[in-house]
Amino acid sequence: MTGRLEYRALSDQAYAAIKQELISGRFAPRQMLVLRTLAETYGISTTPVREALQRLVGEGLLEMLPNRSIAVPDWDPAKFSELYRIRCELEGLAAELATGFATPALVAELTQLVGAIDAALAENRHGDYVALNQRFHFAIYRTARSPRLLRIIENLWGEVGVYMNELFAGSDFGGIANDAHHAILSRLVERDAAGVRAEMVRDITVAADAMLPRIRELAQGGGQAAPRTQL
């Protein structure tokens, strides 16, 4: 029985690791996931990795091709737009809920992250921005004390994270990328739950507006995708 539990834990760990890679933008649409390469990366056998991949396929975060290979789904502007609409509702709700549970420690963490994002943008470290942006958002969502809502948001990010490296491709997003984060932090300090929700929705909307034209271009085969995030 103990061995089975340990094996199950390996499968769960592989699932969590691959899902985090998707959320963080370390994979790209159309990218094939090679079973043996992943197993070597995580230092485990191929069986728990295979189970983790099949689980992610079942959840729609990955897809199985006709030749049984597993890949990140292709560029899909319609899916991205749908995810954007859902994210505005659910992440706005999580931000609103989090306001009532915000602590000085959370405010300090968000303040540090906003400063780090400003520095990353000033130095055009876009990969760092993607990682810091994720940390900022999930620090708030975890504070909402709604584990089911958090799990749904994680799944949404598992689908949208692969698009995040296109935030700065062909747009002036860098000049406004941290504005809503500053506003979210200010509203949070004021305990303005409705304001926090509104600013979170604005943040998601501005980013989606920056990415959608680029995603449409890539879906039509035009241009080359930005390099994947290296963390």
Q: What is the pLDDT along the chain (231 residues), one digit of tens a residue?
A: 333 435 568 999 999 999 999 999 999 999 999 999 999 999 999 999 999 999 999 999 999 999 999 999 999 999 999 999 999 999 999 999 999 999 999 999 999 999 999 999 999 999 999 999 999 999 999 999 999 999 999 999 999 999 998 999 867 899 999 999 999 999 999 999 999 999 999 999 999 999 999 999 999 986 555 544 433
pLDDT at residue number 5 = 36
Kindly state whether residue 224 falls inside one of the protein's structural domains: no
Kindly state whether residue 82 falls inside one of the protein's structural domains: yes
Kindly state whether residue 28 falls inside one of the protein's structural domains: yes
CA angle 51, 87, 28 (to 5 degrees): 50
Instruction: Check whether residue 67 and residue 121 sit in a common domain.
Output: no
Cα–Cα distance for residue pair 215/171, rounded to 1 Å: 12
Per DSSP, the three-state class of 70 is: strand
Instruction: Check whether residue 91 and residue 49 sit in a common domain.
Output: no
Instruction: Check whether residue 54 and residue 88 sit in a common domain.
Output: no
pLDDT at residue number 231 = 32
Q: Which amino acid is at 43?
A: G
The CA dihedral of 206, 212, 213, 218, to the nearest 10 degrees, is 140
pLDDT at residue number 3 = 39
Report the predicted TM-score, pTM, of the whole model to 2 decimal places: 0.89
pLDDT at residue number 134 = 97
Q: Which amino acid is at 147?
A: P
Per the CB < 8 A criterion, the answer to whether 19 and 158 are in contact is yes
Instruction: Check whether residue 172 and residue 146 sit in a common domain.
Output: yes
Instruction: Check whether residue 52 and residue 126 sit in a common domain.
Output: no
Kindly state whether residue 51 falls inside one of the protein's structural domains: yes
Cα–Cα distance for residue pair 171/43, rounded to 1 Å: 39
Which residues span the domain enclosing 23?
Answer: 2-71
The domain boundary residue, chosen from 54, 71, 88: 71
Instruction: Check whether residue 65 and residue 83 sit in a common domain.
Output: no
Kindly state whether residue 146 falls inside one of the protein's structural domains: yes
Kindly state whether residue 231 falls inside one of the protein's structural domains: no
Instruction: Check whether residue 123 and residue 175 sit in a common domain.
Output: yes
Kindly state whether residue 226 falls inside one of the protein's structural domains: no
Cα–Cα distance for residue pair 125/116, rounded to 1 Å: 11
Instruction: Check whether residue 39 and residue 62 sit in a common domain.
Output: yes
CATH number at residue 62: 1.10.10.10
The CA dihedral of 203, 207, 209, 213, to the nearest 10 degrees, is -170
Give the count of domains, the chain.
2
Instruction: Check whether residue 43 and residue 139 sit in a common domain.
Output: no
